[in-house]
Amino acid sequence: MTERSFIILGAGFSYHAGLPLANNIRDYFVRDNIDKILKFNSGESKWVDFASEADSNNGKGFDHLAYGYILNVLVKRFIHARGSFTNYEDMYQYILDNLKVKGFLASILVEAKEICLKDRPHLAENPLKENYMYAFVHTDPGHLTSLLNHLIADLLFWRKNPETFVGKYKPFLSILSKCRNVTITTLNHDLLLEFLLENILSRPYSDGFTIDQKTLFSEKGKALNVFQNLFKEEVNVIKLHGSLDTYKYIFYNEKLESSTVVATGDYMYFKTMDYYEKQHPERHDPETGKKTQTFHFEITPQFITGTNKPPLIASDNMYSLLYKKMEVEIMSAESLLLIGYSYGDKHVNEQIEHAIKAGKIKSITNINPGMKFPFDVNGIKVINMSDISELNQ
């Protein structure tokens, strides 16, 4: 296929791999989460549900208990404010917005601590009380958003044997194998698309990241996979809302006279699934090769969620470039394929409608079991399907 194709993937694309839809993610947050959260010295968090025996032991430090109570109170406040819990992105946005409100976080921590001590009065007399109570006093907004990102990310690893679901994607991969110029914009944070392209289709793709850079390295001197807005393959992948394997490296200068570090305002994103690479990346001077920074504080998976994504995209150097890349590619596309997208993101819908009005798109295929293509199409051929398997037709 020589025509330029554009594909948009939503959460429904990952369904066959056993990855959760929004309602499934919600179920983990609305339950009682006392003793359901693991908290590690590295700052990472996981659900006990999927933890190995080693993680279960290492993640039950003093503050894992506190974060269960804190999360319970946050969810209770959200439900009280909204009347129900319909979507985890709505909850995330509620928390982001209210963390800016003076006194909100302090009241959450006080209430969570009171409930904890009422449930477990023996902690008041425990000689290690201060350790158990530490998170109730010292948690800040960054700790909470990091907690939420880690917990969401933990739900987005498929735990099925790939042999049980890869066959479901064969029709999609068959189409990709015939495309010469295709851009895939995925709104998902999971790594399913990358797995299918690399391990099943064996098709090279560009996602804007490259190891061909001289700034960020591992402790062992390996060049890390850094975002440089580089797209050179016939298949382009745009992860418009980020990914669970992406981390932010913030540039700091060290003031030797005061033994302090000061953020410069610059940063870059890198991808890795290696524990040590994400914990200990090192910055080098690209001109001299000299090591200039060996400390790194941000190990939260970098993805955008919530119901107000456009300001976050516009204010970020990587996400704004990815959004611009999407705009350029969809405007030149002749065919549009949407899989599992529920049309809930206004900024994505605007791009779709602009492309339709531009007049280059000749066909639109919408794969969604519960929703037909919702926009006026100006005479463009539209095919509505309920499952990827129908692509065989």
Share of the chain above pLDDT 70, in %: 98
Per the prediction, the chain carries an average pLDDT of 94
d(CA 223, CA 251): 17
pLDDT of residue 393: 73
pLDDT of residue 62: 87
d(CA 209, CA 270): 8
CB 247, CB 269: distance < 8 Å:
yes
The alpha carbon of residue 264 and the mean position of all alpha carbons in its chain are separated, in whole angstroms, by: 25
Kindly report the number of other CB atoms within 10 A of residue 158's CB atom: 17
Residue 247 makes CB contacts below 8 A (sequence gap 6+) with 269, 270, 271, 272, 278, 281, 298, 299, 300, 301, 302
Residue 91 makes CB contacts below 8 A (sequence gap 6+) with 26, 29, 75, 78, 85
300 burial (CB, 10 Å; 0-12 / 13-18 / 19+) is buried
Residues (pLDDT < 70) of the chain are 1-2, 255-259
pLDDT of residue 379: 87
pLDDT of residue 252: 92
d(CA 360, CA 379): 12
pLDDT by residue (tens digit) across 214-270? 999 999 999 999 999 999 999 999 999 999 999 999 999 876 555 678 889 999 999
Return the closest-CA partner of residue 339 out of 184, 198, 206, 205.
Answer: 184
Helix ranges (DSSP H) in the chain: 22-30, 53-58, 64-82, 88-98, 104-119, 129-138, 141-154, 170-178, 192-195, 275-279, 309-314, 317-331, 346-358
pTM value? Answer: 0.94
204 is written with which tokens? 């090279």
pLDDT of residue 258: 57
The domain segmentation of the chain, as residue ranges, is: 1-19+160-393, 22-154
Q: What number does CATH give the domain 1-19+160-393?
A: 3.40.50.1220
Per-residue DSSP letter, 356: H
pLDDT of residue 235: 96
